[in-house]
């Protein structure tokens, strides 16, 4: 690298400024969350007597236990099924190359840029007809469908790049298509599957629009949907709102920090491939 | 998430991926075709039932006047006519387009600036910390970003506190509540969310550029600016395309941030199509008009994203 020292220094300074700007909202929220209840906090001001108890209050006020359980149930309903059927479809389209597969794939591509707002109204009436409104199924089922364009696209991209000779060799050995899929292809696809799983977990956990439209009860929503309700309820109590928001963020942050490397890889690949 | 990421395939194209199979193989594969469909079917069914069917219904609703309960009345293209002539709706669509400046252009421009100066984030601990922090806004729900920034931009918030500290107390205001500043303030929130992502993507792309290109440019006597135009921009075409695609979709289809930070106010200053669809369909019970707006929004996204895809990929292959 032939960068002059000065340029490198400016680059660093910019990066650090960027980091500060990224972190400030969190720090400001924390400083507000630690003020005594009932006071009016201002911008960024470390409290003389930090009220960590506010978090306990927020935990109760937000009904965190129920929220966590609800979000986990929704994730459990959406992610494994989506990953499985998208992997199967990717395998069918990318490896088995079913006749008419191009057409089907084109159909999936149609949905890649689709804003959820474009289908949320009919989905509401559809869920009403199915009697699923205000249940977690109203979030789970549509999300699986809405994830398919990206998920199938993603898995197909992986399977297209696996040499077909591999499948042919397995067939010569007399294995059935399912054995070929489950024993040979899926283990090889593990990195692609892992990234997809991470992205879907994140998107589900953070899904807001479907949650507020299709489910009224905050304790049956996703985390993001519940946070929206929490803001509606405690919007005027800034201290509690900040404490509750930080609390609701914590599970995501913990998961992110644990799987940080995989997350970043998935997010970079996810946007580049998309 | 609202991160409907990207569109259109990358270089993974069927045509080049496998050599023509021998005839004998073809027979075997033909037999497998029936089985093959069984693998595609579950995904296709879920997609058809929960995306394609609603999509067709949106198109259908958009041709009717319907309050969601009673009898629907056929009105042809009247709803579309309303979308394109009603001054409120036009303003709302305009708001989404203004947001593109903040959600897309600012993060991409700043990201490019940082990328061209940093060129590569060191692989060591510093690099990991930088990456992790810059990705934080991507990981948290947009709702949380909305709440945090509503607080930052409020009358007592950090932004005003900082302004007062440097003697600019005169311009301090409730940024999200002021008619003149509400939309840019919402834009700033979006810029904050997307800046880190764009920066990382661009820096990652930057680190793949052959340093020899820069050497050559320097030898030819190019200054930093010419170097940027002649080497950096063309080499990063694909990454810039990705950033623009992701961020423009985020701007046009924005909902979460606006809903939380301003609910579209004051007046209609920050109302975006996503929010208006939600309101029309569920508060005002104008399902037909909501659906027409949804179709227009969908087409607007395609009209912005497809040319970018063409530009950023087409010439490279």
Q: Is the pLDDT of residue B23 over 70?
A: no
Q: What is the pTM of this model?
A: 0.87
Chain B hits for A3, CB-CB cut-off 8 Å, are 119
Provide the Cα torsion B286, B292, B296, B298; round to 10°. Answer: 90
Structural domain count, chain B: 1
pLDDT digits (tens, 9 = 90+) for B158-186: 998 889 889 888 888 889 999 999 999 99
Residue B213 structural domain: 83-314
Chain B hits for A273, CB-CB cut-off 8 Å, are 6, 10
Q: Hunting for tokens 């985020």 — which residue is that?
A: B250
Q: Is the pLDDT of residue A216 over 90?
A: no
If pLDDT is split at 50, 70 and 90, which confidence band does B2 have?
very low
**Alpha-carbon distance B289 to B80, whole Å?**
8
Phi, psi (5° rounding) for residue B72? -85, 145
The answer to whether A121 contacts chain B (CB < 8 Å) is: yes
The beta-carbon neighbor of A88 closest among B43, B152, B196 is B43
Q: Is B134 domain-assigned? A: yes
* Mean per-residue pLDDT of chain B: 85
- The correct CATH number of A63-273 out of 1.10.10.60, 3.10.580.10, 3.50.50.60, 1.10.3720.10 is 1.10.3720.10
If pLDDT is split at 50, 70 and 90, which confidence band does A137 have?
very high
Chain centroid to CA A265: 14
Nearest residue to B95 via CA among B253, B236, B211, B314: B253
pLDDT of amino acid B54: 95
The answer to whether A251 contacts chain B (CB < 8 Å) is: no
Q: Is B209 domain-assigned? A: yes
Chain B hits for A137, CB-CB cut-off 8 Å, are none
In this structure, of A14-18, A234-238, A245-249, B120-124, the range with the lowest mean pLDDT score is B120-124
Residue to mutate among B16, B67, B142, B144, with most A CBs inside 10 A, is B144
| CB-based contact A136:A127 (threshold 8 Å) | no
Shortest Cα–Cα distance, B278 to chain A (Å): 8
The beta-carbon neighbor of B215 closest among A2, A238, A274 is A2
pLDDT digits (tens, 9 = 90+) for A78-110: 999 999 999 999 999 998 888 888 899 999 988
User: CA separation (Å) from B91 to A196, B252, B266, B269, B272?
Assistant: 38, 13, 13, 8, 9
Between A45 and B160, residue with greater pLDDT:
B160
Contact check, Cβ <8 Å, A114/B161: no
pLDDT of amino acid A7: 67
The beta-carbon neighbor of A118 closest among B58, B138, B144 is B58
Contact check, Cβ <8 Å, A43/B117: no
In A134-163, the residues whose Cβ lies within 8 Å of chain B are 141-142, 144-146, 148-153, 156-157, 160-161, 163
Chain B hits for A264, CB-CB cut-off 8 Å, are 131-132, 135, 200
Q: Let me know the angle formed at the C-alpha of B78 by B77 and B79, rounded to the nearest 5 degrees.
A: 95
ipTM of this predicted structure = 0.89
In A23-62, the residues whose Cβ lies within 8 Å of chain B are 23-26, 28-29, 32, 40-44
Most confident residue range from A203-207, B158-162, B291-295: B291-295
The beta-carbon neighbor of A241 closest among B3, B147, B158 is B147
Contact check, Cβ <8 Å, B114/A18: yes
Q: Hunting for tokens 């070929």 — which residue is that?
A: A180
Chain A hits for B50, CB-CB cut-off 8 Å, are 123, 126, 141-142, 144-146
Q: Supply the CATH number for residue B148's domain.
A: 1.10.3720.10
The answer to whether A270 contacts chain B (CB < 8 Å) is: yes
Q: Where are the domains of chain A?
A: 5-51, 63-273
pLDDT of amino acid B122: 64
Q: Is B103 domain-assigned? A: yes
If pLDDT is split at 50, 70 and 90, which confidence band does B16 have?
very low
Contact check, Cβ <8 Å, A228/B58: no
């Amino acid at each position: 690298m032939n960068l002059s020292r000065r340029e490198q220094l400016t680059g660093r300074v910019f990066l650090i400024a960027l980091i500060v700007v990224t972190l400030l909202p969190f720090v400001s929220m924390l400083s507000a969350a630690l003020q005594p209840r009932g006071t009016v906090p201002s911008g960024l001001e470390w409290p003389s007597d930090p009220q960590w108890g506010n978090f306990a209050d927020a935990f109760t006020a937000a009904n965190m236990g129920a929220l966590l359980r609800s979000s986990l149930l929704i994730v459990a309903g959406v992610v494994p099924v989506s990953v499985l059927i998208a992997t199967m479809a990717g395998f069918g389209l990318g490896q088995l190359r079913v006749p008419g597969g191009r057409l089907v794939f084109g159909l999936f591509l149609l949905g890649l840029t689709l804003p959820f707002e474009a289908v949320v109204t009919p989905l509401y009436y559809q869920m009403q007809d199915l009697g699923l409104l205000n249940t977690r199924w109203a979030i789970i089922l549509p999300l699986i469908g809405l994830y398919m364009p990206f998920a199938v696209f993603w898995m197909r991209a992986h399977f297209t790049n696996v040499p077909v000779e591999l499948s042919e060799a397995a067939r010569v050995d007399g294995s059935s298509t399912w054995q070929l899929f489950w024993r040979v292809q899926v283990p090889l696809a593990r990195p692609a599957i892992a990234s997809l799983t991470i992205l879907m977990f994140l998107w589900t956990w953070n899904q807001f629009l479907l949650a507020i439209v299709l489910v009224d009860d905050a304790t049956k929503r996703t985390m993001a949907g519940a946070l929206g309700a929490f803001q509606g309820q405690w919007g005027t109590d800034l201290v509690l709102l900040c404490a509750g928001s930080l609390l609701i963020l914590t599970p995501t942050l913990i998961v992110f920090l644990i799987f940080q490397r995989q997350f970043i890889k998935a997010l970079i690949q996810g946007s580049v491939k998309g | 998430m609202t991160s409907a990421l990207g569109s259109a395939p990358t270089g993974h194209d069927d045509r080049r991926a496998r050599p023509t199979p021998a005839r004998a193989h073809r027979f075997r594969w033909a037999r497998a075709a029936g089985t093959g469909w069984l693998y595609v079917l579950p995904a296709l069914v879920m997609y058809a039932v929960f995306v394609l069917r609603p999509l067709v219904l949106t198109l259908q609703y958009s041709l009717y006047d319907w309050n969601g309960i009673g009898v629907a009345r056929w009105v042809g293209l009247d709803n579309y006519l309303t979308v394109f002539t009603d001054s409120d709706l036009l303003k709302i669509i305009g708001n989404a387009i203004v947001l593109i400046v903040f959600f897309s252009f600012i993060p991409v421009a700043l990201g490019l600036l940082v990328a061209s100066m940093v060129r590569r984030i060191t692989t060591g601990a510093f690099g990991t910390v930088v990456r992790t922090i810059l990705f934080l806004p991507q990981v948290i729900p947009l709702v949380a970003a909305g709440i945090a920034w509503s607080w930052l931009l409020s009358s007592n918030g950090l932004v005003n506190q900082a302004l007062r500290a440097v003697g600019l107390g005169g311009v301090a205001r409730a940024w999200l509540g002021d008619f003149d500043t509400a939309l840019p303030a919402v834009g700033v929130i979006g810029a904050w969310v997307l800046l880190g992502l764009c920066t990382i993507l661009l820096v990652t792309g930057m680190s793949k550029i052959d340093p020899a290109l820069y050497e050559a440019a320097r030898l030819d006597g190019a200054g930093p600016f010419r170097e940027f135009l002649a080497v950096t921009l063309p080499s990063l075409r694909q990454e810039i395309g990705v950033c623009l695609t992701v961020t423009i979709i985020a701007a046009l289809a924005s909902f979460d941030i606006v809903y939380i930070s301003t609910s579209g106010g004051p007046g209609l200053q920050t109302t975006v199509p996503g929010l208006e669809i939600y309101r029309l369909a569920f508060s005002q019970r104008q399902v037909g008009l909501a659906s027409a707006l949804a179709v227009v929004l969908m087409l607007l996204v395609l009209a912005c994203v497809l040319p970018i895809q063409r530009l950023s990929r087409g010439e490279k292959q």
